[in-house]
Structure 1
Amino acid sequence: MPTEVLMPALSPTMEEGTLAKWLVKEGDEVSSGDLLAEIETDKATMEFEAVDEGVIGKILVPAGTEGVKVNTPIAVMLGDGESADDIGASSAPAPAAAAPEAAAAAAVPAAAEPATSGAPAPAAPVASDGSRVFASPLARRIAADKGLDLSQIKGSGPRGRIVKADVIDAQPSASPAQPAAAAPAAAAPAAAPAGPSTDAVLKTYADREFEEISLDGMRKTVAARLTEAKQTIPHFYLRRDIKLDALLKFRSTLNKQLESRGVKLSVNDFIIKACALALQQVPEANRVWAGDRMLQLKPSDVAVAVAIEGGLFTPVLKDAEMKSLSALSAEMKDLAGRARNKKLAPHEYVGGTFAISNLGMFGIDNFDAVINPPHGAILAVGAGVKKPVVGDDGELTVATVMSVTLSVDHRVIDGALGAELLKAITENLENPIGMLA
């Protein structure tokens, strides 16, 4: 029978997306691995590949459609000997902009019905590293019926794709995955929106001229995650001034030596390296919150906030303690450039234990950053400003001083431990030659 192509989950946080562009048309033959469409997630525009071979029998969701829920049929693929006449009315997709009340009402009976061989296959699962797990629709249906976690099964098909034979004899794990259809019933009720209602705000400004700006997927995600962070994470803040004169002099010397290689180090490159080394020097602070436990990582995976139009990315520099300043500089430039073009893959912005947010280039002296869960801390970096300071000899002098604030999750890092981490960061920046040892 014809196979429905479902809206995929292309990132761990994706719940809906925009079908930006079809790369195939009805009647086209496709093979496993061929590109079908470009899909905008809450973070990036990504290409969607076919996991089966066949013919595109019908496109159900036109290009440009916004708010397409994950697991919604977007096209129908025909197999050998099948024609468009075999496509039933059941292949019609649910409206992307359906009312929330109607969607919620429909979710309950759908969750109660057992999965059948004629039901759409669950959405392609995501492995722990954020990558998609490729499986045939039939394999996904069988796995859902048996309560199997596809990310734990090794595929024997082309390019590691999981096929029927791989799941038919597999045994459920100790904690079996629940069928995708049960998710709506098990989900907690949505929290009431903070602040006044939309109607109340519109009424307040009814006599004023304004432009209404709709929220895209990224802005919705940013709003939800930051609200969650401030409501659920017990933040506390540690502040220090860091003298930059030695770093600026050392940076100038290095840049002259690296000029022939086309490398120019920024102050931010030194900050990344200093934080990565500090997490090794204070390993108990290299932790994330995992609900009912903490995870202490061995490598220093440092995320750096990058402002883009309409939102924010935090690409992660993995194993940053092992990389040279020039390597960190090149990687950061590449990640930031692709972040601004929304071309990052999920594994490039998911993870990390610690983040850096630098607003110094905008002239901001100091600020308090919001922790990006599940990170344990984030360093807010201000501008380097010349200030009068008292030197070690007791004399008044002028130094370039940078103010930083460490926002800390008190569930993960206690006050004294946070102070020790910030001290290590400060010492690394004030003694930059030591970072090359």
Structure 2
Amino acid sequence: MATEILMPALSPTMEEGTLAKWLVKEGDTVSSGDLLAEIETDKATMEFEAVDEGIVGKILIAEGTEGVKVNSPIAVLLEEGEDASAAEVATSGGGTSVPVADAPADTAPAKAEGPDDSATPAPAAKGDRVFATPVARRIAKDKGLDLSQIKGSGPRGRIVKADVEGAQVSAAPAPAAATDAPKPASTDGQKPAMPAGMAADTILKMYEDREFEEVKLDGMRKTIAARLTEAKQTIPHFYLRRDIHLDALLKFRSQLNKQLEGRGVKLSVNDFIIKAGALALQAVPDANAVWAGDRVLKLTPSDVAVAVAIEGGLFTPVLKDAHLKSLSALSAEMKDLAARARDRKLAPHEYQGGSFAISNLGMFGIDNFDAVINPPHGSILAVGAGVKKPVIGSDGEITAATVMSVTLSVDHRVIDGALGADFLKALAENLENPMVMLA
């Protein structure tokens, strides 16, 4: 039976994408694992694979098409012996649907409303009709399984190969589908919609007598706009500011870089800030936390995200287990992640996660600023430039020192003021006494 290949969700925020390039053409035979196309998500261009075998009967979405919704049909796969007419039947609603490369469970786009059905896959049957891939049907037939008794894990509850491979023949009839269906969520106490701001038409009318260029939003810019609007509207930010003296760190860094020169390693101030933040999360473990809707998750490892500016937006790649890595290892990993971020070659798992982020604009001459928390993180550190300033020394004399201003933006649902202050103090102590980071 002809099956539809559906647009996959390749990142947590992906609701639509651009079908950048087809790697197959109509009439090609494909097997499970073969590359089918390149998809541009909101963050990167990614290849995706077939999960079934067959012949590409019809390509429904031309390459270069933007705004293709997740789970919408993009091509039709035929079984051996089927002709092109079967593809027409499938596109008119007479076929089944099969996903391409199954995405991890946490990469499905969040639903705006409705019951939470994440714990129970949607039933594969609708009335007397069972939705399953051809491979799943063949395996079920060989094992003597009743497909109507199996819940599918594919898009829209389709039964895929993995569902039937792990299934066992059961003599007992399955409960009626109606008893398995989740109850509709109550609309009582439903949160009002967030204000959307002025409509585009209203703004266009305001400037209709002025010359302007209309800039089209790409997927990344749309995602940044949506997530940061959500962050400022839903996260109760507060801010902690502190000056950090850098002279000891700059001297120590210079000495280390001379010793590491033969290995081709050159440590940046940002490398020390990453390490200092990772160790501070270990020293103040209650600050190593994220907001999870109705609870707080306290992380054990220090996974530190670092903002990287790219053309048209930014990435926040995550250095996992940063507290366990040497400064030179963190430096090399950060350089690699930043380079691939600028080429938009990062995989979703490389920019997801973490509890704490660093945004450093000091290299651009910014003295201080307030950063917006990237949900679900509990905090983000805004780093300004190191500037020579007059300071009063411990002996009461006025001397010159290199001072860096930092601001910690904190989610008050996760971290209270005193806890945030403890974390910022631990971070500052690491930077002002850099040798302790090697202990």
TM-score (norm 2): 0.83
- C-alpha distance in structure 1 between counterparts of 2:106 and 2:319, whole Å: 15
Whether the aligned pair in 1 keeps the contact of 2:7 and 2:99 (CA below 8 Å) is: no
State the partner residue of 2:31: 31
- Show structure 1 runs of 5+ residues with no match: 94-116
- C-alpha distance in structure 1 between counterparts of 2:387 and 2:149, whole Å: 63
RMSD of aligned Cα (Å):
3.2
- C-alpha distance in structure 2 between counterparts of 1:165 and 1:265, whole Å: 50
State the partner residue of 2:128: none
State the partner residue of 1:205: 207
State the partner residue of 2:412: 410
- Pair 1:349–1:137, CA change in 2 (3 A): farther
Whether the aligned pair in 1 keeps the contact of 2:150 and 2:164 (CA below 8 Å) is: no
Deviations 1:22-48 (A, max 9, x none): 111111111111111000000100001
- Pair 1:370–1:162, CA change in 2 (3 A): same
State the partner residue of 1:18: 18
Deviations 1:276-313 (A, max 9, x none): 00000000110001111111010000000011111111
State the partner residue of 1:127: 104
C-alpha displacement of 1:3: 1.3
C-alpha displacement of 1:79: 1.2
SS at match of 1:342: coil
C-alpha displacement of 1:424: 0.2
The correspondence for 2:235, drawn from 216, 233, 236, is: 233
SS at match of 1:120: strand
C-alpha displacement of 1:138: 5.9
State the partner residue of 2:2: 2
Whether the aligned pair in 2 keeps the contact of 1:139 and 1:167 (CA below 8 Å) is: no
The correspondence for 2:336, drawn from 324, 334, 337, is: 334
State the partner residue of 1:98: none
Where does structure 1 differ by over 2 angstroms across 4 or more consecutive aligned residues?
117-132, 136-151, 163-172, 176-179, 188-195
SS at match of 2:97: coil
SS at match of 1:88: helix
C-alpha displacement of 1:162: 1.4
C-alpha displacement of 1:120: 2.8
One-letter identity of the residue aligned with 1:2: A
C-alpha displacement of 1:240: 0.3
State the partner residue of 1:42: 42
- Pair 1:17–1:168, CA change in 2 (3 A): farther
- C-alpha distance in structure 2 between counterparts of 1:144 and 1:40, whole Å: 36
State the partner residue of 2:121: none
The correspondence for 1:372, drawn from 364, 367, 374, is: 374
Deviations 1:216-274 (A, max 9, x none): 11111101100110011000000000000000000000001111111100000000000
One-letter identity of the residue aligned with 1:378: I
C-alpha displacement of 1:215: 1.1
State the partner residue of 1:423: 425
One-letter identity of the residue aligned with 1:244: L
More displaced stretch, 78-87 vs 266-275: 78-87
SS at match of 1:371: coil
State the partner residue of 1:87: 87
One-letter identity of the residue aligned with 1:86: A
C-alpha displacement of 1:196: 1.4
- C-alpha distance in structure 2 between counterparts of 1:405 and 1:178, whole Å: 48
- C-alpha distance in structure 2 between counterparts of 1:66 and 1:40, whole Å: 9
- C-alpha distance in structure 2 between counterparts of 1:34 and 1:417, whole Å: 50
- Show structure 2 runs of 5+ residues with no match: 110-131, 138-145
State the partner residue of 1:252: 254
The 5-angstrom pairing of residues 269-280 of structure 1 reads: 269-280=271-282
Q: Does residue 1:165 correspond to 2:168, yes or no? A: no
- Pair 1:57–1:189, CA change in 2 (3 A): farther
- Pair 1:212–1:167, CA change in 2 (3 A): farther
- C-alpha distance in structure 2 between counterparts of 1:408 and 1:168, whole Å: 50
Whether the aligned pair in 2 keeps the contact of 1:355 and 1:378 (CA below 8 Å) is: yes
One-letter identity of the residue aligned with 1:120: S
State the partner residue of 2:321: 319
One-letter identity of the residue aligned with 2:30: V
SS at match of 2:271: helix
- Pair 1:215–1:273, CA change in 2 (3 A): same
SS at match of 2:104: coil
- C-alpha distance in structure 1 between counterparts of 2:247 and 2:302, whole Å: 26
TM-score (norm 1): 0.84
